[in-house]
Every structure is written in structure tokens, then in C-alpha cells.
Structure 1
Amino acid sequence: MSDSDGKKTLGLKSGPRSGQVKQSFSHGRTKNVVVETKRKRVVKPQTGAAGKAGGAAPSGGDPSRRPQGISDAEMERRMKALAAAKAREADDAKAREEEERRREEERQRRREEIEAKEREEREREEALKAKAEEEERKKREADEAARREKEAPAAAAQPAPDAGARPGGKPSTAPKKEREEPRRDKDTRSKGKGDGGRRSGKLTLNQALAGGEGGRQRSMAAMKRQQERARQKAMGGRESREKVVRDVQLPEVIQVSELANRMAERVGDVVKALMQNGMMVTQNQSIDADTAELIIEEFGHRVVRVSDADVEDVITGVEDKADDLKPRAPVVTIMGHVDHGKTSLLDAIRNAKVVAGEAGGITQHIGAYQVQTDSGATLTFLDTPGHAAFTSMRARGAQVTDIVVLVVAADDAVMPQTVEAINHARAAGVPMIVAINKVDKPEADPDKVRTGLLQHEVIVEKMSGDVQDVEVSAISGQGLDELLEAIALQSEILELKANPDRVAEGAVIEAQLDVGRGPVATVLVQKGTLKRGDIFVVGEQWGKVRALINDKGERVDEAGPSVPVEVLGLNGTPEAGDVLNVVETEAQAREIAEYREQKSKERRAAAGAATSLEQLLANAKADENVKELPVLVKADVQGSSEAITQALEKIGNEEVRVRMLHAGVGAITETDVGLAEASGAPVIGFNVRANAPARNAANQKGVEIRYYSVIYDLVDDVKAAASGLLGAEVREKFIGYAEIKQVFKVSNVGKVAGCLVTEGVARRSAGVRLLRDNVVIHEGTLKTLKRFKDEVAEVQSGQECGMAFENYEDIREGDVIEIFEREEVERTLA
């Protein structure tokens, strides 16, 4: 092939044949399509003489019949592959046939089992049916015999008519009717008794599952109940069961479904009874106790009226027997002033590093840990914060503790929080051990600490008292063994025991809302053993123990007395200090939690309604002059939230105060940002962060979010912001005196005083007071200040000038003008 220039082009000798096809589309559109037809290359195996013999290799065929480019070895490999493929197909076909045969046998076996069950059921029904028919026949024969005995005297008195004919001459058909009646009754019984009768014919499994028409399926229990009713009826009727009279506990308000459950009656029957009494209610609505009492009496049960508070009777304290008590580990609380080394001392005992995890090296949560001493004794330590804002947290720590270790720094002596810790320990009635820390410092003076404790009636053993004191060093480890020995000795004296074989009871040390785990409570078990799966109620919350995590972060199945664990599975975050009690059922736990929540709402409402109208008006008037700084606080744990709230409520005076919009636990959410925007308040996050929707909402609405990890910084910043609301203090600064020598009257100006500046300086922008006989008769501003005929800004001492007052002309010779300036000074909260 060549083009117009004579050059050859590449191409196939037997190329594809091309043509055009016309395609028609809707709406009359057409399109021409070029179609190429390609020839298919067919490769045929050689069929030589050896191949026809059926056993020779393919290389023995006719080479001229073999496709080009294929050698003898390749041809032999292809033939082997073909034979192997045919063998695999045969094996697969055989396996499929075997599987199909096995499935057919399984289907046949199941079919036979179903037919056998149907046959047994049919035979049982036929036997019952035959027995019922026999009893019916005997009963009918007895009735017929009794009837004949009654008719016999009457038949003897009258001549009997012809047995084969009636008075009309026709043969009688009475015996035939009597013979047909049993058969008719039998046919009637054999047929279905309407829609509610027993099924006739075979009852297959598909029919049983399909139930009635309309797609509604009948349960197996319903079918068994129907068969039981038919069997009882066939046996001569079912005896009516005696009604069980129950004692129904009736609270002030009860749901209809719960009322039916307590009476063991159908909900529909209870709703019907209420409707008959004129109350159109559903099963989810609540009714009062009086109405419920009428319904209970109508159903024949006895009413037991109970109070709402009776729901807590299930968690009443059980006195443990002396034989059941076993020794338990002491709970030791470490208390003391901030930065006196409480956590460092506990670290030295635990050989752990807890301080590194606290922001600024300050303990801001109550930590609970268990320590194993060298002697094998187990001690439970509670590390409480020492900052003044955590007073309530330290108080909770003292309530659950057995022994208090009071840590006092030897170089700092007794401080305010040390005194508070002493008072908490005394209020809790627990023994105290004084640990004088930092004795390795050069400036340490342990005797100064002992002397300082004497002022607060704490007399240590070295001062001939009964309080143990140990000199320790958290850095060098000095005195740690003596401290542990003192704790063990004190616990032996206390003889601490508890019953582990009872339902658990404990106290919530700390509570927080974890993003991944939900509400988490740190619980110190005090009595019994808390196990995984226990249902409990704690304060206004309830839950089921989903997991227990010890102080080492390991999951455990149970926790005995004096063991601190994190509890997962609550429905909400409890308050720190709440008591945890294990109950039997979820219904009890939910009921107790709802009752406590309702009571808490009522108390808050009562506290709000307790103020009189006069008090409200007085408060409203007082609040008019008080500026408020609204804040919204979210913290990581409940204790921190309480401590921050208490610290911020103390900020302010009679002019400015901090108003807590909301204080909660958990991450900052979009709802918090919306609340802050509505009140113009900043959002404060303590060891928490805002989620993505909250950050976006804050950027859009202009809400400020501030993050803190140290409570000092938080309180200082809020105090500075509240100080900005204080009005600036105005101070007067005296700058000069002037004496009026002569008074002139100037047109268009009024009276002008000719003055001599006797002291200081007179300025036009300053304020002035007019003194007459050292009595202030006017205070105002200058309208004009002239030196000769020129207006000037100021006049120095010893010079004369002219002054005119703004809107005041009662000036006389000999009056004195006091000149002063005002300056504003910013105020701060103490």
C-alpha cells in the first residue's frame, strides 16, 4: 500500500472489513456509525496418525496442520493442561452431585421428622376427640334413658300407634331422625367451630409460623394455650382458678402499667376499669393514690399505702455481726498547707511520680492510692489539695479517713491551711500523726513546728503529748520507715474491721465526665465488696458497674473494704461526697434516684420561695447598684468545679460581684457557648477544652474561651476582670487660692471678679469653690480667665487676673476662690 507521495505505509494484508450502520433514536434523530468486522483466528490442534491412535504425543502429528510458532513441547504442555482441566471439571461435577445428594437426604430427614411430629399430634388429637365423643355418647344415652323412663307411664295409658305408620298413613321417620342426630352432632363437632376452632387436616411448620391471615404471626405459646383450652374443654370443662389476693404497695402517684404489674392484672383490664370510672387514660399516664385505691379494691386486692420516702428503705443500714468482721486496711489522709510536700511525701512512699502530672506541681484533685509496706501491710492513702480553695475537698477526705497525717514543712512552720486540716481532723474524730517534712534543708527547725502546734492544742510525743510526730524528708527518704511504722501502730490500736461478705457501701471521693468512658466516679469502698455487674445508687444517680479500675489503672472484678476504685457505668456524674449503695434491681435504683432528684428540686424551689415580697424588693433595689461579672465554668472533675465556684463567689464587695451562670463537669460544648453569648459572659475551662462545634460557635458569636490548669491564675484573672467593673476613685488635688479684690460688671459677660492669686496657680480647666468666711457657698467651673484683656490658660501666684463663674454671679469683694483639679484612680479588689 502506498500514499500519493509513493511512500509505503504499514498495514495488514487481511485487515478488518468496515462499513456504516444507521442508528435511529427517539424524536426522529439518526446517527451513522462506522462498524469494523474482524476475522477471528482459530487455532486447531494437529490431528496426525499418532493422534488418531489416541496415545501418542502431539508432536507426532502432522507438522503442516499445527499452528505456526508452536513447538512440540508447547503443544504437549497445552494438551496436558487441557486434560487436567477436564479432570478438574469432572471432580467438581462429582463433588456437586455429592453435595446435592447430601442436601436432599437432609431435606428428606427433616421432612420425615416434621411428618412424624404432625402424625403424633394428629393421633393425640384423634384420641382426645374419640374420648370426648365417647363421653358425649354415654351422656346422651343416659339422658335418653332418663327421658324414656319419664315417658313410659304416659305411653302405657294410651294405645300405641302403628310402629310403621303415622296417623296420616305415612310411615314414621322418628327413629331415622334419632339415628341421624348423633351423626349430625358428630359432623358439627368434627368441623371447625368458626374461626376459633381447631385446625382441620395437617398442621405444617410453615402454617404454624404463618399464623392467621394478614401477616400476623401467632406465637408457639398462644398455640399451646389454645390446645390446652381445647383439651380442658374436651375433658369436661376447666375448673376456675381461685383468685390470688395480693397486697399492693401504693405510693402517692403511680403509673397505670406499674399498677397493673403490682396487681398481676392485665394492663388492658386496668385501663378498661379506669375508663368505666370516667378516666380516659393510657398505660403510660400516672394516676393519684385515691383513684388507684378504688381500682385495687375493685379488682379484689388489698391496698398498702406507702410514702415516697419508703423507696429508700431498701438501703437501710444493716448491722454487721461481730463474727463476720474481718481486718481491713486503714485509710490514711495526707493533709497540710500548700507546697509543704504532701504529694512528694506520698511519692516517696509509693516510689511513683504523681507531682509531675499536676499542673504547677499543685495537687488539684483528691487522689486515692494503695501502698504495700515492707512488712506486708496494705495502706490506703488519700492525697488532698492544700490550697485554700479546696477546703470542702479536704473536709470530704477527713470524713472517710481513719488516720490523718498532718504534713508541716520544717522551714515554714504552721500555716493557715495547716490549722484548717487540724480542725477537719478534730471534726471527723480521727487520730493524727504529724510528719515534719523537709528536715534535710539547712534552715529546717523541727522544734519550731512543734512549738507552733502547741498554740493549736496539738501536743506531740516529744513535747510530752499523745500525738505521734516523725521527722521525714521526701527527697532523701529519711524517716519514711518510721512514718509507716507509726501508721501501722495507730491502725492496730484502732482495730479496723469490716464485713466483706455483704452488699457494698462506699463514698465518692471524686467524680468526672470522661469523653471516652462517660461519667466516672472514684469510690472508696467502706463496707462489703463491690463487684462488676452490681446495680447501685449514688446520690441522685444510679447505674450498673460496667468496669472497676484500681489505682494502678488495671481492671479488677471486685473491690473490698478500704479499696479505692474508679467505677464506670453511671447514668450521670454524681457529687463528690455522695454515698454509694448497692441494691437488688435496676427498678429500685432508678426509683430511689428519681425520688432523690425530685426532693432536691423541691428543696431548691422552697429555698427560692422562702423569701418574702419585701425581701425581694429590697434585694432588687440593692442589686441595682451592684455590678455583676457573669462567668461560666467547666472543669474536669466535680471537686475542682466546687472549689472554683467557692473561690469565685468570695470575689467582690458591695459594688461588684461574680455571678456563676453555670458550673459543670466535662468538655465545653456548643450549649455552653450559647448560654455565655446570651449573658455576655466568658467561658472558663479548667483542665478541659472546647470541642470543634463549640470552638466554631465561639468564633462566630464572639464568645471568649479561656483555659486554665492552675487555680491561682484563674482566680487572679477573674479578680482583675471584676476590678475593671469598679468605678474609678476620684481624688481632688489642691492647686491654688485667689482672693477677690474688686467686682466689675461687664456687658455680655456679667460680673467679673478682679482677683489676686495668693497661692499656687489658677488654671482655666480646673474646678473652683467660692469661700465666704471659710464657708463653701458655690462649687463650679470657670467661664473665663483673663490676664489684662487676653484669655489665658493659667495664672501664676502673685499675679492679678479676672475670673467669671459659669452660671453664678453672687460674688463679693473679700471672697476667696479655692482652685483644685480632679484625677481618677483605678480601684482593685482586695
Structure 2
Amino acid sequence: MSDTKTPGDKTQTRAPAKPLTLKRPIEQGTVRQSFSHGRSKSVLVETVKRRTIGAAPAPAAPTREAPAAPQTTRPAPAAAPTAPPAAARPPAGRSGSGMVLRTLSEQERDARANALADSQKREQEMRALADAEKRARRERDESEQRERDAAEARRREEDDRRKQDDEHRRRASEESRRRAEEDAAARTAPVEAPQAPEATASAPAQAAAPAAAAPRPAPPARPTAPRPGLAPTTPRPPVTARPTPAEPRRTITAEVRKPRDLNFMARPAQVAEPENKTTPTTARQPDGITVTRPARSNATAAEEEPETKRVIRRPGMPLKIITPPKTPKSPGGDRNRGRLTIATATSGEDERTRSVASFRRRQQRMSGHRNDEPKEKIAREVTIPETITIQELANRMSERAVDVIRLLMKQGEIHKITDVIDSDSAQLIAEEMGHTVKRVAESDVEEGLISEEPDLEEDLDPRPPVVTIMGHVDHGKTSLLDAIRKENVVSGEAGGITQHIGAYQAASPSGDLITFIDTPGHAAFTSMRARGAKVTDIVVLVVAADDGVMPQTIEAIAHAKAAQVPLIIAINKIDKADANPQRVRTELLQHDIQVESMGGETLEFEVSAKTGDGLPELLEGLQLQAEIMNLRANEKRDGEGTVIEAQLDRGRGPVATVLVQRGTLFTGDIVVAGAEWGRVRALIDDKGEHIPYAGPSVPVEVLGFNGTPDAGERVVVVPNEARAREVAEYRARIKRDRMTARTGGANRSLVDMMREAKEGSGRRELPVIIKGDVQGSVEAIVGALGKIGNDEVSARILHSGVGGLTESDVTLATASKAVVIGFNVRAHKEAREAAERSGTEIRYYSIIYDLVDDIKDTLSGMLPPTLREEKLGEAQILQIFDVSKVGKIAGCRVTDGTVQRGAHVRLIRDSVVIYEGKLSQLKRLKDDAKEVGSGYECGMSFENFQDMRAGDQIECFRVEEIRRTL
């Protein structure tokens, strides 16, 4: 059956076969590609060739190579196609096999021809590039080879030169050594010596004597070549001595030794002789003495020691040769020759010598350096503080600590080197050792810290005045300052009252600056007002026209008088309908304040912070007062000031508001304020801008303290950190001791607690922990809580500080059962969780009088109540009855008032109270009664008392508890 499909056959059911196709011939090959750094890779290359279908074996039209063919396998350029003969050419559009082929158009043929030409052109360009790269690589390799050859030649030349230098150095050393030996032999040989029989008996001497006796003919002159291993030197003229007729010639065999000088310490260079010499060497001295040296070989010369062999011969005894013992060499060879130093590295190995220190020690030993003469005692001035360790005392005296301990042991005291002794003992020891003593105290660290020297007149420059605003609460101090500065500070104050001290600068109508300090008016902020009055130049007393003189107004007047600063009265709120400025002037007369309008010297101004009336006149009056005072300061000295306020900012750390009073404070200065110190990291003015320095009368915020300083502390610039740390540690210790003495409590001794128990001290204390936003507020709260209380109850401040409530504060409160108070601060997350776990109470306040009122109420609840008796009635016992299972019952008659069950009773016998307690049972006939009136009989029984008798009197009363308040 044929595989071809029959046309028209519709009975065929199998799937039609695929169309017949011809696979394109593919040629495969492997090409190795080279990359940089010596890497290579094998690539499989396939070349597809186009096949022309037809009977004529005519060459196919030129086709483009496959794009995957690499440049390394380039086919030969095809020859120009030749047209086949017309007889053999198939008709157009038909191949030799009878298949119809698509003919190429002229455009396609031109495109193919152009593509072939472009391909050939690219191949030629690539071939030219490859050839150029090959030539460049070859030239580069040749240049590198030339450089390597030149470097090798230079290295060989350097080696040859080094070898020649070593050879010359070795020859020079050998020649110098030889000359030294000859000179030493000439110096050590004796001039006259009797002829010994031993010398004449020796074979070398016998051979040398006739040779020396017979005159030698002069040898013919011949060119002398230098010996190998020796440097060429100028030949020395021979030294000959003609013996006299009376003196026969003598031949002496002498042993040549090196002189005893410092040169014996240098090891001579060991140079191998080029030839073996077995004959003895004879040297002729100027006086006719012939010295014969023993012969030596190369091995003997190489191993020659400073001392050679000695030959001893006695009459009738055989010849004896004494060889000195040789020093055995170390098994490590040259490894044990010492450490590598600059001297050993730069010098040759054959010229190794001893070190300079070795020569110096030898010279000292030879010259008798060690002498036992006692040194002269040096008396020193020893500074002794209040307490000092033995080691430190010995160091200051430049003495041994064991000597100090020995003196203490003579006084009957046993101490270690680290023990601390008092200043008296240290002074006795220092004086006994011959030193002078200078006693100092711990407080001496503050000497010279604040300079008290007055400034020179030419260094003083005008400065802005410092004005403090003072007055009663809610009299408009902050509002008046806001109207001057055109700010709105009042809106940010809690409760509408100022609870912080602030410092600002404002310009007067004339353009001059004025520094204002705003103080709170609440009664608790007395310390703030006093602090403001101390640093100020002028005090402005603000009095409300509708309120008059109040308690804090009187206190401000007292502070101004204590500071001895001028006072200016500002009568505020004159815009109100009920304002009466004349009333204020009259009330001020009671406190020795006479205003200018009433014939006095005190300036007064009627102002209104709401409308702004009178403010220019007030500023002009301040400027006039400042000009009269002639305020000047020196800006060229180190800065000094006062801490007005301090706070702990969680982002910036401790921040202190400082008013500079003298000098200039720069960024980077090291300052001390109380028990805190630090380096000034930044200075921020009242507008929140960073400034590089602050002059006199300028308020700034100082960043950089290691802790929050106390308000009112003096800020001083010190030269270095060591000085600042020393002063701060001393002040911190003093502050801690004062706190311990003031609080007591947790630090009280057992004796104190036993004395209080013996005295029956029933005082109850409320432990409190206070944390506030600024140091001034904390100070005011502590002062306010210290004033409330009495002999029975009081508030005890366990801890106070600035900043948020921490977990340590809660832990301290839990251990001491204290109340935690936060003023304008909040507790951290860890502190809140710890407080919830332990049940510790945390109270938050933003107004100071609310805090004081709550603590006062708490202390009032701790007071024992007052007991007051209210008499109810009297009764008399008529008869005593014994009742089984009950006890004694007193039959009584009520004589006055009423008797109530459960009331307090007193049992009086012969005008003496024998019992005081409660009435437990009250019966009328057989029934229990709640109350029995006068004239009736009843039965009574008392709690825990059975000793009643007929005729005893009974008083019945009721006790009322009255709550006490502070």
C-alpha cells in the first residue's frame, strides 16, 4: 500500500501525515573565548547553511552568516556568482526538481548584496582591530620584559657593589687588626733579655738565628700583587737595626698578646686565609730582636681565641704545651646573640660590640661609682588635709610608706598602708621626719572660686538694668509684663496664676534694653520673691487699685527693703470702675512707703495692663532710675551669674535659667553651680534663639549641666574640669549631710529611736515624695509643706526633685508607704505599672494651693480627735445580787438624770474612782431596758468588773469625738 494520499479517496480514516520538510544543515563547533586575568570559556557555535534545491550544482547565492557565529570562525569570502548556461538554467520560477520557487525581486537581490558587502566590511574592520590589539599586546609584553631585565640588572649591580663594599670593609678590618697586633708585639717585647737555653733549643729559634745573623741580599724588584682578602695599602718601609759589634744578636721567641684596653671587648672578625701557612712568621724589631710567632693554619686562625697556646720547657723535662680551655658554643648558634637593635642591624655581623650601657656600667665599676655616703635630707612643705591616707602622706613627703607605718607603730598604733589618719597624727609624723606642715580644710577648695577683686574703672561698660516685678497674687503682674513685651504668657499659666519665675528682656521707648524678672504672687513662693529681690537692681511693686495692699504686697516690701534696692509703685487696674488709686497710696503709708505725689521719694505710676495706659511712663521712669544708679559691669572677665530657675527636660536634659551678672558667659565654658557642674553646650535667649555668648544682665537658658542645680545657686566659670569636679563633690557631700540632719528618719540611729520611745513621742508623720517641673516650684512646695503640721503630725519629705516620676520613686514610696505627688509632671509608663502592682497612690496637681490643701486635710485626718463628755445621770447601788451563770448584779436607784445601756460609767467609792468603763446590762424588773429615768430602780452589770458594794455611786455619761483640723 502506498504511503501517498490518493486524490479523491474519502474512505481513508487515519490522521493525515505531517507535510514533508527538509532540515536545514547545521554545522557545530567549539570555540574557546579568552577573557581578562587569564580566564577562558568554551562556547558551542552552530552555523546554518542555506541549501539550494535543484539539479544543477551551481553555487548558491551568497547568504549572510548566522548571527551566532563568532569572529574566530570566519568563512572565506564567496566568489562572484557565475551565471549558468541557458540550456541548463531552469525556467523562471521553477527549480530543477520541478518545484515552483519564489523568484527574488531586484530590490531583494540588491538588499542581499548590500548586506553581504556590509558583512564583509565589518569582518575586515574587526580583523584590523584584532591585529592592532595583538600588536599592542606584543609591544606591552616586550616593554614589560625590558623593564624586568633592567630591574634584574640593577639588582645584580647592587649586589656586586654591596659585595665589593663588604670585601673592602673586611680587608680594612684585617689590615687594622694586623697592624694592631704588630704594634702590640713591638710594645710588649723586652729590649734586653739574657739568652735562655730554652730559646736556643727550640727548632724555630735555631732556624731563625742563622738567618738573622747572615746579611740578606736585597731581592730583585718585582711587582707585588695584593693578597686576596686584604685591602691594598701603601707598602711600609722596612725597619732594620744594625747591631753593634759589642752586642751580639739575640733571637727571642715571644708570645704576642693584645693589650688590656677596651678593644679586647670587641670580637675580631674571623676571615679565612686563602692559603695554608705552616711555617712560622718571623718579625724583626728595630733593636735587633727577632720575634718568632707560632705558625697557624686556616682552621686555627678561624678559631683563634684572645689567648694563644703557651709553650713551657724546663731543663731535663719534655716540652709542655698549655692550651686554654675553649668556650663551648651554644647549640642555637647565633640565635642567642641578643635582641635585634638598630646598632646590630646597621653594623656587620663581624663587628658586633657591647652596648653603650655595658660600657657605662663597667666604667662605673672601675671608677668606684658605688659609695655609701648618706644623701642630704630634703625638707619639704607637706600639705595635709583633714583626713589623709598613709600612702598619700608618704608620697607627699617623698618617704617610704613603711617608715611612716614604723613611726605609727612606735606610737602604739597599728595601721595598713591604705588606712586613713587624722590631720594631727599626720602633722606629728611629718614634723618628726623633718618636714614642714601646711594644714588645709575641705572648705579651702572654694577659695578663689569667686573673685572679690573690684574691676578697673576703664574696664566697666554700661549694662541693662534688672527689674523684678513683685506683688500680691492676681494683681496683674504677668499681665503687665505681657503688655510691655506684647506677649501672652498668662494664657499658659494653670489656674490663671503665675507659679514659675521667668526672665525676659524688653526695649524701652528710648531703645535701651531692660531685663524683667517675673515672680509668683502666691504665699508659697516666698523664696522665689526673695531670690528675685537679691539679683535685681529695681523692684516694681504692682498693687491693684481695686484691691489695695495685701499680705504678699507687704512681704514684697520687706524683701525690697532687705535687698536695699529702690522701689517703684505701679498701681494697676485703673480701668476698673471700682478702682481707687488714692486708697493704695494711703495704705502704703502704713508701711513707710511715701509716694512722690504725696511728698515722698518713691515713684508711682498709674497703669492699666488691659488698655496699656501709663506703660510708656513706667518704662521711662525705669530708664531714668537706671541712669541715676549708673549701672556698669566688666564684660571682659569670666562669666558669673545666678540660677533663677532650673528644670529637667526629657529631650534636652538639665536646663538652668541663669542671669549673668558679671563678665561674659561663652559656649564651651566649664561652669559650677552649687553641687552640679558641666560644660556649656548651648545658650538660648528668652526668644528661643541660640546665641554664642551672654553678657551682663542677660537671662539665658544654659544646657550642659550634669544635674539640675538648685535655684539661687551661684554660677561660676572655672578653668578646668578637675577643679569643677572637686568643688562639686565637696558641695554635694555637704548638701547630703545637711539633708540627713534635717530629715532624720531613715538615717536615724538606734539611740535616737530608743530616746524617742522612752520620751513617749507620739508624733505621726506623713512620708511624701515630691517631683515637680522646675526647681523653684519644688522648693516652694517643700517650704509650704514644712510649715503645716504641729507637734502631733507633720509631713516628712523623703525625696524631692525635678522631672517626671520614675520607677525608683515608686519603689521608694512602696518601701516607706509614702504618698507620691507630681506637680505639673506625669509618671513614666514603668512607674505607672509599678504603682498599679504595689497599690501606691500617685497624686497629680497643677495648682500649688490645691496641693497644700489636700496635704493639710490628710494631716488633719491623722490627728487624734478631741473627746468631750456629756453627763447623762447618776445612780446609787442599794444591794448586790449573785445570779448563777451571770455573776453579780447591782440593784440601783437612779437619783438624777437617766441611765442608758452601753453608755460610759464611773464607779466612785469614798470619792475615789475605782472603775471606768461601759454599762453592759440594764434591766427594769425582769426585762432589758434601754433607758431608765430618775426615781426608778434597775439592775446593772459592768464590763469586766464584779467588785461592787452597796453604797457606791455611779456616774453615767456619753463621750463625743470632735474632729480636729490644722
TM-score (norm 1): 0.69
Distance 2:858 2:472 in 1: 28
Tell me the residue number matched to 1:11. none
Distance 1:259 1:168 in 2: 81
Select which of 847, 855, 863 maps to 1:726.
863
**Cα offset, 1:701, TM superposition:** 1.4
Alignment partner of 1:369 is 2:504: yes
Alignment partner of 1:803 is 2:816: no
Distance 2:912 2:482 in 1: 73
> Partner amino acid for 2:813?
A
SS in structure 1 at match of 2:339 = helix
> Relative to 1, partners in 2 of residues 1:176 and 1:547: Cα closer, same or farther, differing over 3 Å?
same
**Cα offset, 1:597, TM superposition:** 3.1
Q: Is 1:784–1:804's contact at 8 Å kept on the other side of the alignment?
A: yes
**Cα offset, 1:811, TM superposition:** 6.7
Could you tell which deviates more after superposition, 816-825 or 432-441? 816-825
Select which of 797, 807, 829 maps to 1:660.
797
Q: Is 1:785–1:801's contact at 8 Å kept on the other side of the alignment?
A: no
Tell me the residue number matched to 1:51. 64
Could you tell which deviates more after superposition, 762-771 or 411-420? 762-771
Tell me the residue number matched to 2:818. 681
Percent of residue pairs identical: 49
Tell me the residue number matched to 2:926. 789
Distance 1:723 1:629 in 2: 11
> Relative to 1, partners in 2 of residues 1:780 and 1:52: Cα closer, same or farther, differing over 3 Å?
closer
Tell me the residue number matched to 1:767. 904
Q: Is 2:877–2:890's contact at 8 Å kept on the other side of the alignment?
A: no
> Relative to 1, partners in 2 of residues 1:157 and 1:685: Cα closer, same or farther, differing over 3 Å?
same
Distance 1:552 1:449 in 2: 35
Q: Is 2:649–2:655's contact at 8 Å kept on the other side of the alignment?
A: yes
SS in structure 1 at match of 2:556 = helix
> Partner amino acid for 1:471?
E
Correspondence 1:171-320 to 2 at 5 A: 185=266, 194-195=338-339, 197-198=341-342, 200-201=344-345, 250-252=383-385, 274=401, 307-315=441-449, 316-320=451-455
Alignment partner of 1:358 is 2:493: yes
SS in structure 2 at match of 1:370 = strand
Q: Is 1:743–1:754's contact at 8 Å kept on the other side of the alignment?
A: no
> Relative to 1, partners in 2 of residues 1:305 and 1:805: Cα closer, same or farther, differing over 3 Å?
closer
Tell me the residue number matched to 1:691. 828
Tell me the residue number matched to 1:476. 611
Correspondence 1:481-492 to 2 at 5 A: 481-492=616-627
Distance 2:914 2:883 in 1: 25
Distance 1:177 1:701 in 2: 97
Select which of 454, 475, 495 maps to 2:589.
454
Correspondence 1:621-640 to 2 at 5 A: 621=758, 624-640=761-777
Tell me the residue number matched to 2:533. 398
SS in structure 2 at match of 1:575 = coil
SS in structure 2 at match of 1:624 = coil
SS in structure 2 at match of 1:823 = strand
SS in structure 2 at match of 1:724 = helix
Residues 395-448 of structure 1 deviation map (CA, whole Å, 9 limit, x = unaligned): 111111111111111111111111111111111111111111111111111111
Tell me the residue number matched to 2:310. none
> Relative to 1, partners in 2 of residues 1:627 and 1:602: Cα closer, same or farther, differing over 3 Å?
closer
Instruction: For CA contacts below 8 A with separation 6 or more, give which structure has more relative contact order.
Output: 1
Correspondence 1:588-607 to 2 at 5 A: 588-601=723-736
Tell me the residue number matched to 1:526. 661
Select which of 613, 622, 634 maps to 1:499.
634
Alignment partner of 1:414 is 2:449: no
Q: Is 2:390–2:401's contact at 8 Å kept on the other side of the alignment?
A: no
Residues 735-793 of structure 1 deviation map (CA, whole Å, 9 limit, x = unaligned): x446669657575544312447x65x542232345689999886544344333432222
SS in structure 2 at match of 1:522 = strand
> Relative to 1, partners in 2 of residues 1:257 and 1:636: Cα closer, same or farther, differing over 3 Å?
farther
Provide the aligned length of Structure 1 versus Structure 2.
Answer: 683
> Partner amino acid for 1:700?
R
TM-score (norm 2): 0.60
Q: Is 1:634–1:667's contact at 8 Å kept on the other side of the alignment?
A: yes
Residues 298-346 of structure 1 deviation map (CA, whole Å, 9 limit, x = unaligned): x999997755444333423332101100000111111111111111111
Tell me the residue number matched to 1:32. none
Alignment partner of 1:752 is 2:752: no
> Relative to 1, partners in 2 of residues 1:704 and 1:199: Cα closer, same or farther, differing over 3 Å?
farther
> Relative to 1, partners in 2 of residues 1:159 and 1:726: Cα closer, same or farther, differing over 3 Å?
same
Q: Is 1:166–1:172's contact at 8 Å kept on the other side of the alignment?
A: no
Tell me the residue number matched to 1:158. 193
**Cα offset, 1:181, TM superposition:** 11
Distance 2:474 2:594 in 1: 23
> Relative to 1, partners in 2 of residues 1:802 and 1:536: Cα closer, same or farther, differing over 3 Å?
same
Unaligned runs of 5+ in 2: 1-43, 51-61, 70-100, 103-110, 206-251, 271-333, 348-354, 365-377, 407-414
Residues 436-490 of structure 1 deviation map (CA, whole Å, 9 limit, x = unaligned): 1111111111111111111111111112111111111111111111111111111
Could you tell which deviates more after superposition, 497-506 or 344-353? 344-353
Q: Is 1:314–1:583's contact at 8 Å kept on the other side of the alignment?
A: no
SS in structure 2 at match of 1:51 = coil
Distance 2:959 2:822 in 1: 41
CA RMSD of aligned residues (A): 5.5
Distance 1:262 1:319 in 2: 36
Distance 1:755 1:291 in 2: 84
> Relative to 1, partners in 2 of residues 1:181 and 1:790: Cα closer, same or farther, differing over 3 Å?
closer
Alignment partner of 1:436 is 2:555: no
Distance 2:479 2:880 in 1: 84
> Relative to 1, partners in 2 of residues 1:464 and 1:746: Cα closer, same or farther, differing over 3 Å?
same
SS in structure 1 at match of 2:469 = strand
Quick check: which has more Rg, 1 or 2?
2
**Cα offset, 1:703, TM superposition:** 1.1
Residues 682-705 of structure 1 deviation map (CA, whole Å, 9 limit, x = unaligned): 111112222222222211111111
> Relative to 1, partners in 2 of residues 1:798 and 1:597: Cα closer, same or farther, differing over 3 Å?
closer
Q: Is 2:743–2:797's contact at 8 Å kept on the other side of the alignment?
A: no
> Relative to 1, partners in 2 of residues 1:199 and 1:727: Cα closer, same or farther, differing over 3 Å?
same
SS in structure 2 at match of 1:721 = helix
Distance 2:201 2:394 in 1: 66
Tell me the residue number matched to 1:211. none
Tell me the residue number matched to 1:717. 854
Distance 2:341 2:568 in 1: 86
> Relative to 1, partners in 2 of residues 1:458 and 1:764: Cα closer, same or farther, differing over 3 Å?
same
SS in structure 2 at match of 1:50 = coil
Alignment partner of 1:584 is 2:723: no
Q: Is 1:741–1:755's contact at 8 Å kept on the other side of the alignment?
A: no
**Cα offset, 1:794, TM superposition:** 2.5
Q: Is 2:821–2:842's contact at 8 Å kept on the other side of the alignment?
A: yes
> Partner amino acid for 1:195?
R
> Relative to 1, partners in 2 of residues 1:482 and 1:260: Cα closer, same or farther, differing over 3 Å?
farther
> Relative to 1, partners in 2 of residues 1:645 and 1:782: Cα closer, same or farther, differing over 3 Å?
same
Q: Is 1:274–1:295's contact at 8 Å kept on the other side of the alignment?
A: no
> Partner amino acid for 1:753?
C
SS in structure 1 at match of 2:782 = helix
Alignment partner of 1:347 is 2:428: no
Distance 2:263 2:554 in 1: 105
SS in structure 2 at match of 1:52 = coil
Q: Is 1:782–1:803's contact at 8 Å kept on the other side of the alignment?
A: no
Residues 341-362 of structure 1 deviation map (CA, whole Å, 9 limit, x = unaligned): 1111111111112122222122
**Cα offset, 1:549, TM superposition:** 1.2
Distance 1:551 1:440 in 2: 30
Q: Is 2:670–2:718's contact at 8 Å kept on the other side of the alignment?
A: yes
